[in-house]
Amino acid sequence: MKLLFVPVSVGGGLVAGAIASRVFQHIWSWFDEQEPPDSSIHRTSMPKLLVAAAIEGAIFRVFKSVFDHSARRAFLNVFGSWPGQEEPEAKP
């Protein structure tokens, strides 16, 4: 059953990433009129690059986590099986 969830997870991750990217572009426009810094550009300010990467990473993680958990709940409702761990693993 859990193999049925893999395509949903991959496709949803791509959609969540695309949405997160658009949200990041919009939020970055609040900080700066220029496009977000790119690490491949020689004259990129390191502080600006770090701030942009932190914001982009946080937004991506939020969208991916929300989608993943929602998709797993929907899968549980449809198939009656949770595609993943039921409880977090205990620390040794």
| pTM metric for this prediction | 0.81
Write down the pLDDT at residue 2. Answer: 76
Write down the pLDDT at residue 28. Answer: 93
Query: What's the residue count for the chain?
Result: 92
Local mean pLDDT, 10-residue blocks, the chain (92 residues): 86 93 94 89 91 95 94 92 84 81
Write down the pLDDT at residue 90. Answer: 83
Residues contacting residue 16 through CB under 8 Å, at least 6 positions apart: 60, 63, 64, 66, 67, 68
Write down the pLDDT at residue 91. Answer: 83
